[in-house]
Structure 1
Amino acid sequence: MPWNPNAISFIPRSMDACEINIKNSIIKAGQQVLSSTDSLLFHTIIDEWHSSLLLSSCLDNWELISKPKVQLTSTFLYTLCFNVRGLDLRWGEVYLLFSSYNVDIMVLLEVGKFDQDTIVTAFPNHFLFYQEGENAHGGVLILVRQTIPVTRVPCHLANVCVVDLHLDETLRLIGMYAPDKRSWSWNDLSSFFLTNSIICGDFNVDLTEDGDKADRLLKWADDLDLSPVVPDTRTSLRSDRTIDYAFAKGTQVAVQVHEGATTSDHKPIILVSAVEDKRKNMASRTSWPVFSLFLSYVFPFWEKQWSASNMNETYNNFTRFLSLLTARCTRTFPLKLARPAIPPELRSKLSYSRALSFKAKRTGDMKLKIESAKVRNDVRRELRLFQQNQLAKQLSDRNKSVDSARMFWSKTKKHFRKQTAVLRGFNLSSGQIESDATAMVQLAADYYEKLFEEPSVTRPHPYTDSPLVLSLENNSPIPDVTYADVLKVVKTRKKKRSCDIHGISSYLLNQLPDNYWHFMVKLYNHSFSTYQMPDKFKDVRIILLAKKDAICPPEQTRPISLIDSFLKIQERLYLNRFMTILENKGLIPESQSGFLPGRRL
């Protein structure tokens, strides 16, 4: 779609003096109302617009400029813990598990003698930490991604390897193999625990079946405020017991067992722990005044484009223009400040409360259960008071205006909301794990296409296939949409920031200058009169959420469909007209109990 700039100021020859004055006034208004940074961005975008001979070349340039330079890391830490019983025999299986799960850390137990050069070649992007065992079959090996800052903690105990992960707060990870005949006791490990610690490995103790051994281990854990994190599945194939698990202190950990085929007599387990990493603390800011001013500046160009007959192509270009302009007006920057953390003494009380609750549930002691409930309520009360005081303090330090407080709460409320598990991979029928993004999309598409395919209906049916009742209004056209109707629907929509597949959100629609909705009035009326819609309306962005586990089959996911933002406006316009017909004909009974206003009972 070419256009020829007549001069540096990009004024087509057909533009009259009135339009020239309007553009000049927009530039002057930008100099007065915008900050120095936004004003520089506004003039930069104007220069980029005029320096392009084609609309496509301008949009391609914006897409290249707005491409994110930093890949944000996950807020979860994935650890594979596996008793391999000989790493030289099963390093290929370990590599296959690593490729399937794409874990951050691997804790390998009973590695025995192995070729270190082979492991370094297979995992070139990992730090390697090894601790010898007490016999030829012992030894613990920990592999950590090089993107995670890590240091080793000196430890002289056999089959115990200790490392510190330096995130926002230091997280101590202890990989351990505890055979029945060992030279150390559980108390020898007590000095290695910090405020945030995880110990995982082969404990050789089933917490529900091993009696005195389990009691001694749990008493030691209770004294250190360690909470057991035990999977629901048996992990030892030889003894049919659950002896591979973890204990956590000061952090939340979930454990999942890998159910695929393995040549070892232990099943691998996956630990998922929530962490805070300062490298993720990135934020973005969109200059909406620049966005709105530039749309006003290029309004004459789009007015001519929408006057053309091919609305389908014009709509495709317009949606791409809006999405890339938004990205061009967005600046990403690292956050200097983080939300207030919970004090160490309060975190210790929370850990003690969880450990006491586990102990009361395990022993069934009523006195301990009452004490656990009292401690839990006291800690919750202290945590609630701390949060209230911190939030009140931060609010008092900020601007006292209502807009600042509303913006603050809109940013902080997400920290008090439970999150769904991140989908990390699909379990295949063969027992393998598929974690490649492209293959996962194809698997999910095949599953949901089959799930939502058109059903086969046996005809005739006494109700659904009854003869249609003809009406005098069957051939009447859908009433035209007016400019006021569109604006009313737009203003009443929730200003959500979730984007559709084209990168357009309801919040963005609220930033459009009102005169741009005249274009949409033409599009909606054309769609209602011809019973057709633009091709882009049929593109839907689907987000899959894991119902329970992060690695699950496709049928255990929940799809969220985000349709085109402009189509949502048209759907509401059509619904308003359809409901008017239903109400005028009396087709909605007064006893209707659906989600209709005024008909709840």
Structure 2
Amino acid sequence: MPCSIVVFNGTHHNDETVKIFSKHYSNYNTYWEKGTNNFGGVLVAVHRSIPVQKVDIFQHLPNVIVLDIGTAADKFQLATCYSPPNENLPISLFDKILKRNINTVLLGDFNAKHISWSSTIDNHKGRALFNWLATNSLEVVNKFVPTSTRSNGTIDLILAPTHMIAPTSSFCVLPSIGSDHFPVVWTPTAKLHKRDCLYPIKRTYWTLFKLFLVFTFSFWNDMSSKTDDIMHFFSTYERFLALLASRLTYVSYCSAYKPSLPPHIIKLIQQKKMILRLARKTKHPLYITQLKAYSTIIRKEIFAHKRLSWLNYCSTLNAADVKQFWKKARKHFSVTNPPINGFLSNGAVISSPNEMCNLAKSFSFVVLV
């Protein structure tokens, strides 16, 4: 399961194990602090695409790491703490961390049990943490799911502000991977701005795809007529189509993209695809009628969007600057096209540059001459 941020508590690690970890996870920035006993120590690994900075005033504290995550627009504070069973919770330190930035996610193995989040009896650390939470705007994310393999206690906690815990956020507890604690995975709804996020742009050469189908038609036709196992033929042909499409698809990456259509049209297209699937599956007249209606609406919306885009573009043209006009107009036509000498509008030939500019701005139906 890929995670952008990984937190380990009670690692009892040393410098050599940290070097080994950093070597295997070279695409993560790794931060660690030693603990106060043989079972202590904390480690945080943050993917290199996420801006991160260690908070100076909380450096070199045993069992504690405090980081600033994200950029100015979406920055929050991430703090992890391992609290050994025989030590008190560092409540005063928690206050300082929260005072520095209220947008703080505090997580770790606190060894704190309370009936508010754990299906076990309370302990003194749980009561202390409960009282502290009552005076601050933090809530327990992972309630009533055991995180210890030796009991039903929920002692590994994720604490976050109420405004950072959306109803659509989720968490899960994974099976043990050898430790006496279960891994806890939290998926918040907040999205971080990544520095090197690349978007895949796929391009399939459908003309070549069609040629392959035409040239191999006789082969597949003979195979289908001679085979006794229709399902085997179907699966083989399906695999051929998938491999052919994959072979003729090339992927390029860009750091940013701008949809060619506005969001409301994209949403309409997505709704149309959903209705199309229902219409194909059920053949219900209602879905077929809705599909036709959506097609008409989308066609009109796209036409209106293109018209508005053209008008906005034409507003940048200067009728008095003939050179600039033809420089921009040249971008819309291939070099193999004949030169534009004029427009034919309402039966009249318009050849004056100023009149042609005015006619182009009106976005009327004109004929090039």
- TM-score norm. by structure 1 comes to 0.33
Which of 209, 213, 216 is the equivalent residue of 2:128? 213
Residues 291 and 326 of structure 1 are in contact (CA less than 8 Å); yes or no, is this contact kept in structure 2?
Answer: no
Q: State whether structure 2 residue 41 is matched by structure 1 residue 105.
A: no
Partner of 2:33: 131
Instruction: Determine the C-alpha separation between the residues in 2 that align with 1:285 and 1:409.
Output: 24
Residues 230 and 255 of structure 1 are in contact (CA less than 8 Å); yes or no, is this contact kept in structure 2?
Answer: no
Partner of 1:203: 110
CA apart distance, 1:129 = 1.6
Which of 123, 140, 160 is the equivalent residue of 1:248? 160
Q: Which amino acid aligns with 1:160?
A: V
Instruction: Determine the C-alpha separation between the residues in 1 that align with 2:258 and 2:99.
Output: 30
Kindly report which structure 2 residues correspond to 1:261-276, keeping only aligned pairs within 5 A, or say none: 262=179, 267-274=181-188, 276=191
CA apart distance, 1:162 = 1.7
Partner of 1:10: none
Kindly report which structure 2 residues correspond to 1:55-74, keeping only aligned pairs within 5 A, or say none: none
Q: State whether structure 2 residue 81 is matched by structure 1 residue 162.
A: no
Partner of 1:550: none
Q: Label 1:122 to 1:331 Cα distance change in 2 as closer, same or farther (>3 A).
A: closer
CA apart distance, 1:201 = 1.0
Q: Which has the higher contact order (CA 8 A, sep 6+)?
A: 1
Q: Which amino acid aligns with 2:107?
A: C
Which of 249, 261, 266 is the equivalent residue of 1:330? 249
CA apart distance, 1:493 = 4.1
Partner of 1:144: 45
Which of 382, 394, 400 is the equivalent residue of 2:263? 394
CA apart distance, 1:291 = 6.2
Instruction: Determine the C-alpha separation between the residues in 2 that align with 1:236 and 1:192.
Output: 35
Aligned length: 247
Q: Label 1:237 to 1:407 Cα distance change in 2 as closer, same or farther (>3 A).
A: same
Q: Which amino acid aligns with 1:284?
A: K
Q: Which amino acid aligns with 1:77?
A: C
CA apart distance, 1:328 = 4.0
> Please, what is the CA RMSD of the aligned residues?
4.6
Residues 128 and 141 of structure 1 are in contact (CA less than 8 Å); yes or no, is this contact kept in structure 2?
Answer: no
Q: Label 1:170 to 1:287 Cα distance change in 2 as closer, same or farther (>3 A).
A: farther
Partner of 2:3: 77
CA apart distance, 1:187 = 1.4
Residues 162 and 175 of structure 1 are in contact (CA less than 8 Å); yes or no, is this contact kept in structure 2?
Answer: yes
In the TM superposition, what whole-angstrom CA distance separates every residue of 1:324-357 from its partner, at most 9, and x where no partner exists? 3322443434462489xxxxxxxxxxxxxxxxxx
Residues 9 and 109 of structure 2 are in contact (CA less than 8 Å); yes or no, is this contact kept in structure 1?
Answer: no
Q: State whether structure 2 residue 146 is matched by structure 1 residue 233.
A: yes
Q: Which amino acid aligns with 1:245?
A: L
CA apart distance, 1:125 = 2.8
Q: Which amino acid aligns with 2:145?
A: D
Instruction: Determine the C-alpha separation between the residues in 2 that align with 1:182 and 1:405.
Output: 49
Partner of 1:121: 20
In the TM superposition, what whole-angstrom CA distance separates every residue of 1:382-415 from its partner, at most 9, and x where no partner exists? xxxxxxxxx9x732xx5xxxxx66425468x8xx
Q: Label 1:338 to 1:271 Cα distance change in 2 as closer, same or farther (>3 A).
A: farther
Q: Which amino acid aligns with 1:248?
A: A
Paired residue secondary structure (1:229): coil
Q: Which amino acid aligns with 1:152?
A: K
Residues 109 and 157 of structure 2 are in contact (CA less than 8 Å); yes or no, is this contact kept in structure 1?
Answer: yes
Instruction: Determine the C-alpha separation between the residues in 1 that align with 2:100 and 2:39.
Output: 21
Which of 185, 188, 192 is the equivalent residue of 2:96? 188
Instruction: Determine the C-alpha separation between the residues in 1 that align with 2:6 and 2:203.
Output: 34
Instruction: Determine the C-alpha separation between the residues in 2 that align with 1:300 and 1:237.
Output: 65
- TM-score norm. by structure 2 comes to 0.50
CA apart distance, 1:130 = 2.3
CA apart distance, 1:184 = 3.0
Query: Which 5+ residue runs of structure 2 have no aligned equivalent?
Result: 116-121, 283-369
CA apart distance, 1:292 = 6.9
Partner of 2:79: 174
Residues 236 and 243 of structure 1 are in contact (CA less than 8 Å); yes or no, is this contact kept in structure 2?
Answer: no
Identity fraction in percent: 16
Which structure's residues are more often helix, by fraction? 1
Kindly report which structure 2 residues correspond to 1:193-592, keeping only aligned pairs within 5 A, or say none: 193=101, 195=103, 197-208=104-115, 209-210=122-123, 212-220=127-135, 223-233=136-146, 235=148, 237=150, 241-249=153-161, 250=164, 252-256=169-173, 258=175, 262=179, 267-274=181-188, 276=191, 279=197, 281-284=199-202, 286=204, 290=207, 293-294=210-211, 299=214, 301-303=216-218, 306-307=221-222, 310-311=226-227, 318-334=237-253, 336-337=256-257, 394-395=263-264, 406-409=268-271, 493-494=280-281
Q: Label 1:272 to 1:327 Cα distance change in 2 as closer, same or farther (>3 A).
A: same
Instruction: Determine the C-alpha separation between the residues in 1 that align with 2:243 and 2:270.
Output: 27
Q: Which amino acid aligns with 1:124?
A: K
Partner of 2:296: none
